[in-house]
Amino acid sequence: MNTSILMRHSGIWVNELQYESYKIDGIVVGDSISFSNLKAAIAAELDIDVSRKEIEIRYIVEGQIYKDKATLVDVMTKYKIKNNFNCKVKRCGQQSYVLVCFSDKCGWTMKASCRKKSDIFIVRNFNSEHTCPMRKRVLTKVQATE
């Protein structure tokens, strides 16, 4: 099975979640593609020399759709490893998946729920801004593993 990837590129990040003045392209890749091969496919499609320019891939955007909850859980596991922090599951069921920062006073949250009568999960709310000190989110007893 294949997955379509929509790429927004050549724009400007106004803030953590707002990207403006971008171009849109797309590629189709196999479901089992590795992260390094995905970066290589994107670089090839956009004609980017990765020895001279770095590609930044951002995983989570409000409204982003995942084929099932397992895929979303996998993406969030990789996201927290890449961004060097830990989070905890606040709610996890057949219809919802909610993550919060380990620090109770932090505003970082990710809320997703399933589309009616399907396995598809949609990110409904994502606040990627941590309001807690770095040591609170990194120095926890839980470790993310790949």
pLDDT one-digit tens code per residue, 43-70: 888 888 888 888 777 656 677 888 889 8
pLDDT band (50, 70, 90) for residue 145: low
Report the pLDDT value the prediction gives residue 10, as an integer from 0 to 100. 83
Question: What values do phi and psi take at 18, rounded to 5?
Answer: -115, 120
Q: How many CB atoms lie within 10 A of CB 42?
A: 19
Report the pLDDT value the prediction gives residue 114, as an integer from 0 to 100. 92
Give me 146's structure tokens: 């790949």
CA–CA separation, 132 and 109 (whole Å): 12
Predicted confidence (pLDDT) per residue in 79-119, tens digit: 887 777 788 899 988 899 999 988 888 888 999 999 888 88
Give me 67's structure tokens: 């084929």
